[in-house]
Amino acid sequence: MEITMEMVKKLREETHAGIMDCKKALAQSNGDFAGAAKYLKEVGLAAVEKRADRATEEGRITFGITDKKAAIISVTCETDFVAKNEQFAKLGQDLCDLVIAKGYKEVTPDMTDMVKDLIATIHENMNIKKMDTVDVAEDENVAGYSHANGAIGVIVKFKAKDAAIFKTDAYKTFAFNTAMHVCAADPLYLDSASVPKEYEEENLSIFRTKVAQDEKLASKPDQVKEGIVKGMLKKHYAEICLMDQVCQIYNEDGLTVAQLVAKFNKDNGCDIAIADYRRFRAGA
249 three-class SS: coil
Domains present along the chain, CATH in parentheses: 5-51 (1.10.8.10), 53-136 (3.30.479.20)
C-alpha distances (whole Å) from 134 to each of 83, 84, 93, 142, 277 are 25, 26, 16, 9, 9
277 φ/ψ sector (left φ>0, alpha ψ -120 to 50, else beta): beta
User: What is the rounded CA–CA span in Å between residue 124 and residue 116?
Assistant: 10
Query: What's the burial of 30, exposed, middle or buried (CB within 10 Å: 0-12/13-18/19+)?
Result: exposed
61 three-class SS: strand
10-residue mean pLDDT profile of the chain (284 residues): values are 83 72 81 77 54 71 98 95 94 98 96 90 89 98 97 98 97 98 97 96 95 93 95 97 96 96 98 98 89
Helices 33-51 + 5-15 axis angle, to 10: 50
CB 88, CB 74: distance < 8 Å: no
Q: What is the pLDDT of residue 40?
A: 66
User: What is the rounded CA–CA span in Å between residue 231 and residue 201?
Assistant: 14
Question: How crowded is residue 135: how many other Cβ atoms within 10 Å of its Cβ?
Answer: 12
pTM of the model: 0.82
